[in-house]
Chain A
Amino acid sequence: MSHNKPVTLDELLSDVSSVPSLPLLYSRLDETINHPRSSIADIAKVLSEDQGLAARILKLANSPLFGYFSKIDTVTQAVTIIGIQQVRDLALAISVIGVFKGLPKDLVTMECFWRHSIGAALAARVLATSQREANLERFFVAGILHDIGRLLLFMRLPDLCREMIETARNSNQCLHELERQRLGYDHADVGGALLRRWKLPTRVTEPVEYHHRCNHAGQFPRESAILHCADLLAHALELGGSGEERVPPLIPGSWERLTVSPFQLPQIVAQIDNQLEEISKALGGAVT
């Protein structure tokens, strides 16, 4: 892999052996949910097949994200109360965390990476709540997945990534711009392409793909803008990290898409801080 001839996005994703796939359980869950004759009991049954997943869903359902506080004690109840789509999105977030393993530790630790992702996920959810958006879990899952392309880059091109992180540290350029210069695409493109391969819905793949150029998003510019601002918040609050060490520049017009006054930031930050520990714990078992 010489620097003169960068790996193309297709090449990066075509190597089946190193591109992780989604757990089979998630596709079964998706299939069950989409089947017109499925009942809530069927969905709960699929979820319960993976005890770890079921336990984490219950933990999340009882966390401050939903505010039912330890009243949900069966998976069926969780599906009924939180909603089928929401549970699907949570299951996706939980499954993905377990998928990536064996990364070069000097680039980023998994703990640090997921802390950043969970931080961005919570920030996206809190921002979306303030916008009175429906189906909040899609923001959560987009936040969890937003830097996933970087994991793939770290796995496939560790030396180039190490060099780019070093260059970014000593210059006034941010990492995603460097990636674009060297490779012709950035980690957001890689993430979007990977999620499309996993056949995830556009409402998740597009915000991930455009979180560093949210003004170019065609179908979901609002969602992309929320994700961009959420990423910015997670960086500003120094919650974990994913290689980038500074706050990426705010894209002009992205914050303005949200009707949030800058003076609401203290409350937003307080909400993120309050929820982060508990949510990390609920998702925690998967982060190893």
Chain B
Amino acid sequence: MAIIPIDLLEAGMILKADVRDRSGRLILPAEAELAEKQIKIFRTWGVTEADILHGPDGTDIEATRENSEIDPVVLAAAEQAVDEIFRLNDVQHPVIKELMRVCLARRLTIVAQ
């Protein structure tokens, strides 16, 4: 599977690799099953992501549709604007990809207000 940011972790997911805090201390070993309590502990120790093997009951985690409730016209306009300001960048770079996601979400909250 993939590296999943903490906000998208769910109880029942299985870890592919050890989860460690910033100083390298082991918090949860590979192959453990996540529970709500552990996700809370991750947050406490400043963990921002986890390498996940598969979702609950062995399902593959699908790309989450986080913007599915938003008016498609507004969404398309926001996406276009973000694409435009990032035009000079490599959109496949993991940092740029995440930054674009953050910018899109930020733009949509500003529009919603």
**A interface residues, Cβ below 8 angstroms from B:** 172, 174, 232-233, 235-238, 245-250, 255, 261-267, 269, 273
Contacts and interface: CB of A to CB of B under 8 A. Distances in A.
B5 A238 contact: no
19 contacts: A232-B99, A236-B85, A237-B106, A246-B85, A246-B87, A247-B86, A247-B88, A249-B88, A250-B89, A250-B95, A255-B93, A255-B95, A262-B95, A262-B97, A263-B3, A263-B48, A263-B98, A265-B98, A273-B106
A255 B88 CA distance: 16
Interface of B: 3, 5-7, 48-49, 84-90, 93-100, 102-103, 106
Contact of A238 (B3, B85, B97, B100): B85
Contacts of A269: 102, 106
B102 A245 contact: no
Nearest to A258: B95
Contact of A237 (B7, B87, B90, B103): B103
Contacts of B94: 262
Determine the main DSSP class of B at the interface with A.
helix
A233 B85 contact: no
Nearest to B107: A238
B85 A245 contact: yes
A262 B86 contact: no
Contact of A247 (B49, B85, B97): B85
Q: Which of B84, B93, B99 has the most CB of A within 10 A?
A: B99
B98 A174 contact: no
Nearest to A261: B48
Nearest to A173: B88
A261 B50 CA distance: 11
A235 B85 contact: yes
B85 A250 contact: no
Q: Which of B5, B84, B88, B96 has the most CB of A within 10 A?
A: B88
Nearest to A269: B102
Contacts of B97: 262
Contacts of A262: 94-95, 97-99
**Top 10 closest pairs, chain A to chain B, by CB:** A262-B98, A263-B5, A263-B48, A263-B49, A262-B95, A249-B88, A255-B95, A262-B94, A261-B48, A264-B48
Contact of A246 (B6, B48, B84, B95): B84
A232 B89 CA distance: 10
A248 B95 contact: no
A172 B87 contact: yes
A255 B99 CA distance: 12
B65 to A, nearest CB: 18
Contacts of B84: 246
A237 B103 CA distance: 6
B6 A263 contact: yes
Given A236-B100, A246-B84, 12 more contacts: A172-B87, A232-B99, A236-B86, A238-B85, A246-B85, A249-B88, A250-B90, A250-B93, A262-B94, A266-B7, A266-B102, A267-B48
Nearest to B7: A266
Q: Which of A174, A249, A262, A266 has the most CB of B within 10 A?
A: A262
